[in-house]
Amino acid sequence: MNKSVAGCGDGIRSVTAGRLDPCYTELITDTAERTGMAMLKGMVALVTGASSGIGEAVAEALAREGATVVAAARRLDRLEALSARTEGAVAPAQLDVTDRGGFQRLVDEIVERYGRLDVLVNNAGVMLLSYMEKLHVDEWDRMIDVNLKGVLYGIAAVLPHMKERRSGHIVNVASVAGHRVFPAGAVYCGTKFAVRALSEGLRQELTPYRIRVTVISPGIVRTELADHITDEDVRREMAARTLVPLQAGDIAEAVVYAVSRPPHVDVNEIVVRPTEQRT
């Protein structure tokens, strides 16, 4: 059934004195009626860090639900393989999130090509755990550049477009490391605490524009993330872990849940741990 309402276009217009306008109620009804494969049909999403792990699973899951997905990361070969596997439902885009200009250019290209960008999933991240006394200062820099500045550059790139449309959803992947600090995790935890803090500030500021902000905080997920750790002590400690981790798809389901809620619902944060993970 065609649910379009005259004058509503593809976005939400306004709420006056606590009353929902017709476009708003129509969209809620429409979303509630969506089921199955086409739950996210018509939505355009950009997922960073989509060449492996959680980002790859998120890109696939959003595409499976009908969204048009642009998958970004540095390893283009991995993104092209993902695109082929999804029969073109996911479009590859090479991006280093620490390149502010490059991030803006990619967002502009997406808006130019698809006419809109509904969802940004800021997922790219590195976890270079090390004990601070070892002074892996270059790795501290990298975590701040990718995990924190990369997220900020993504927000800066999409905000003008989302504000203009008075619609959009920014999903930031933080971590349970953004809830508690552990030895060898001081800087990584610092970046993830910061992502949670900036997401909450952003959410509060964006309520007049009806732009949603969601933080996803995973516990331990089986991905490539820990492979890049260079501190041998940490590598040994991690190898000794025995608990059953989450799969990347478990986190992708949480993202799909958040972005598929009706427009008046903003899922602020989802924390997902393996059942056996204590803290």
Residues that bind ligand NAP (CB under 6 A): 48-55, 73-75, 95-98, 123-127, 146, 173, 175, 218, 220-221, 223-225
Q: Which residues are 65's β-sheet partners?
A: none
- Amino acid code (one letter) for 217: S
Closest to ligand NAP by CB, 167 vs 199, is 199
Q: Which residues are 93's β-sheet partners?
A: 72
User: Pick the catalytic residue: 114, 131, 188, 209?
Assistant: 188
Nearest distance from C-beta of residue 117 to ligand NAP, angstroms: 17
Evaluated on CA atoms 58, 235, 144, 97, the torsion sign reads negative
Closest to ligand NAP by CB, 75 vs 113, is 75
SS (H, E, C) 171-225: EEECCHHHCCCCCCCHHHHHHHHHHHHHHHHHHHHHHHHCEEEEEEEECCECCCH
Closest to ligand NAP by CB, 46 vs 225, is 225
Closest to ligand NAP by CB, 162 vs 215, is 215
Go through 24-57 and write b for each residue having 16 or more CB atoms within 10 A of its CB, e for each that does not: bebbbeebeebeeeebbeebbbbbbbbbbbbbbb
DSSP state of 221: B
Specify whether the CB–CB gap between 198 and 159 falls below 8 A.
no
Nearest distance from C-beta of residue 92 to ligand NAP, angstroms: 11
Closest to ligand NAP by CB, 31 vs 277, is 277
Distance CA 169, CA 135 (A): 37
Specify whether the CB–CB gap between 217 and 117 falls below 8 A.
no
Closest to ligand NAP by CB, 67 vs 146, is 146
Q: Which two tokens stand for residue 124?
A: 């790219």
Q: Which two tokens stand for residue 158?
A: 């999409």
Nearest distance from C-beta of residue 149 to ligand NAP, angstroms: 10
Distance CA 200, CA 5 (A): 33
Distance CA 275, CA 78 (A): 31
User: Does the annotation count 153 as an active-site position?
Assistant: no
Nearest distance from C-beta of residue 241 to ligand NAP, angstroms: 11
Sequence-ordered list of residues with C-beta below 8 angstroms from that of 209, at least 6 positions apart, any chain? 162, 163, 166, 167, 168
Nearest distance from C-beta of residue 77 to ligand NAP, angstroms: 9
Nearest distance from C-beta of residue 22 to ligand NAP, angstroms: 39
Catalytic residue IDs:
188
